[in-house]
Structures are given as C-alpha cells and as structure tokens.
Amino acid sequence: MQSTALLVLAAQGKIDFSTFLFANVGDDSEHPATLAYIREVAVPYAARTGLDVQELKRRRRDGTTETLMQRLNRPDTRSIPIPVRMANGAPGRRNCTADFKIKVIGRWLRDHGATAEHPATVGIGISLDEIHRANRRRSESHEVIEYPLLDLRLRRDDCERIIAEAGLPVPPKSSCFFCPFRTVDAWRHQRRHEPKLFALSVQLEETINRRRAALGRDAVYLTRYGIPLTQAIPDASSSDGSASEDEGACDSGWCMT
C-alpha cells in the first residue's frame, strides 16, 4: 500500500524518486497476489509514467538465485530465518528481512555506485500511523534513509486514497504467505480461500519440526498458539471465531513492496 502510494506520488512529481526496488524473496515464497500486483499493475504503471521498477532476487556467490522457501527446506539448514513461534508463543529470531530484503537491496545499490562517500538516497514506505517502525531502522554506510510519507504527514488511509484516485486498484497487504506474523484472520482466509497455500504452509511447518526433532530441539509453530497449524486454524465448520486477530507485524519497513 505505502510503496505503491509512493510510486503514484513520484509519477505525479510530488516526490523525487525515479527507481523503485522490489526485493522478491521468491515466487515460491511471496504471496501470489503481491507478485501479480507488482507485475500486472505497478510495473506497467511505472513504465507509462517514466519510472523504473526493478525486481531483485537473492543471489549466491556462484550466481544462482536462492528463495526463502528453498532456504527453509535446505536439509543442512540448522537455523530458521523466519520468526517462528516458540511453544510459549514468543517469536524466534528473524533473519529473513536482512538476508532477502536489506542485503539484496544493498548489493544492488553498491553495484550501481552507492558508496560511503556517495551514498544513495533510499526512500522507505512507512506512513505516519507506523512511525514507530522508522525508529528501528539503522542506515548502512552506503545509504541515506528518507521517509517521504512521514515528511508529507500521510497515513495508510491517505495512501489508499492516493492509489484509488490515480485509477489503480488498491494492492493487497504484502507478506510471505507462510509468515508467522500473519494475523489469525489472514490464516483463516488462507485456509478457506487459498487451500493450496495453506497446505504448503502446513507442509513447511511439518518439515521444520521434523528437522528440529532430529536435532533434539522443541517444536515451533507458524502461529502463537503452540499447536500445529491445522489445529490452530480449524476449518470453517469447526471454528468458534474466538481467536484474537491482534498479532504482530513485520516492523522493518523493508517488507513493504
């Protein structure tokens, strides 16, 4: 939502940014609706208005690409880069944003001339209602971070209005489809309306726990309830609607495409 609003504002000449970077954590990891919006709406709109949207991917030293799902399913992976929930509901350590977003963008910036002496100006789509997220982002030596939406005193509702008035559809909320920070309502929607994605999420949780069991470690989960996903998010016929939808969110700003 926020970054799409920035794209519109740049097209209207209200902010001075000409290149937009989308760090794709993987076609097998990003929510399909996010990928569709970027490729079918944002990229064509940018092309029509003289802007550039670059889709970036994480690359290994040998030049091949790596997706977040591939990392999670690698047999030799001992750590979990996504913030899975411990048995008590607390999130684990998270490296996915750093490895698949921040470092990927940083490499592109350096490859295109950003240095400590001549840093790139990097705008991040954090709106006024999320100002606490801006305080948690440390700038790298090759960049100067700006928050155009904060400068313009714009909130998420304003972003939605800006996008709609430009004649664009309002984008869906972006995240990996298996992200443990997803709300209960989002998980329910996935089980009811995106059964293939839900099955893949269940499969991922089971794969992680098989590997942890082999290492003698406790099970972890994709929700805060300390039980497998199929039990935490029952099907519509058995759901009592009592679970809270007030859950955490990715707080870096870099997950916003």
pLDDT, one tens digit per residue, over 102-161 is 999 999 999 999 999 999 999 999 999 988 888 656 778 999 999 999 999 999 999 999
Are the CB atoms for 82 and 208 separated by under 8 Å? no
Question: How high is the pLDDT of residue 255?
Answer: 53
User: What is the spatial distance between Cα 223 and Cα 171, in angstroms, rounded to a whole number?
Assistant: 25
Using the predicted structure, report yes or no on whether residue 239 has a pLDDT greater than 50: no
Using the predicted structure, report yes or no on whether residue 256 has a pLDDT greater than 50: no
Return the higher-pLDDT residue of 69 and 242: 69
User: What is the spatial distance between Cα 6 and Cα 252, in angstroms, rounded to a whole number?
Assistant: 17
> Stretch 160-168: mean pLDDT, rounded?
98
Residue that is written with structure tokens 């064509």 in the block: 44
Burial grade of 72 (CB within 10 A; 0-12, 13-18, 19 or more):
buried
Using the predicted structure, report yes or no on whether residue 249 has a pLDDT greater than 80: no
Question: How high is the pLDDT of residue 248?
Answer: 47
Report CA-CA distances (Å) from 180 to 99, 115, 194, 210: 17, 35, 17, 18
> Stretch 200-216: mean pLDDT, rounded?
94
Tell me the one-letter amino acid at 88. Answer: N
Confidence of residue 246 (pLDDT cuts 50, 70, 90): very low
Residues in Cβ contact with 75 at an 8 Å cutoff, skipping those fewer than 6 apart: 211
Confidence of residue 94 (pLDDT cuts 50, 70, 90): confident
Question: How high is the pLDDT of residue 237?
Answer: 56
**Residue 148 tokens, joined:** 């155009």
Domains annotated for the chain, with CATH where assigned, are 2-177 (3.40.50.620), 182-246 (no CATH)
User: What is the spatial distance between Cα 129 and Cα 5, in angstroms, rounded to a whole number?
Assistant: 15
Using the predicted structure, report yes or no on whether residue 79 has a pLDDT greater than 90: no
Report CA-CA distances (Å) from 16 to 11, 51, 106, 123, 154: 9, 11, 20, 10, 16
Confidence of residue 247 (pLDDT cuts 50, 70, 90): very low
Are the CB atoms for 201 and 229 separated by under 8 Å? yes
According to DSSP, the β-strands at 19-23 and 120-123 are: unpaired
CB-side neighbour CA atoms (13 Å) of 139: 16
Consecutive H or E run containing 134: helix 131-134
Question: How high is the pLDDT of residue 242?
Answer: 40
Question: How high is the pLDDT of residue 93?
Answer: 83
Return the higher-pLDDT residue of 236 and 167: 167
Consecutive H or E run containing 187: helix 184-193
Angle at 37 between CA 165 and CA 18, to 5 degrees: 70
Consecutive H or E run containing 21: strand 19-23
User: What is the spatial distance between Cα 72 and Cα 60, in angstroms, rounded to a whole number?
Assistant: 15
Using the predicted structure, report yes or no on whether residue 188 has a pLDDT greater than 90: yes
- Among the ranges given (121-125, 152-156, 185-189, 252-256), the one the predictor scored with the smallest mean pLDDT: 252-256
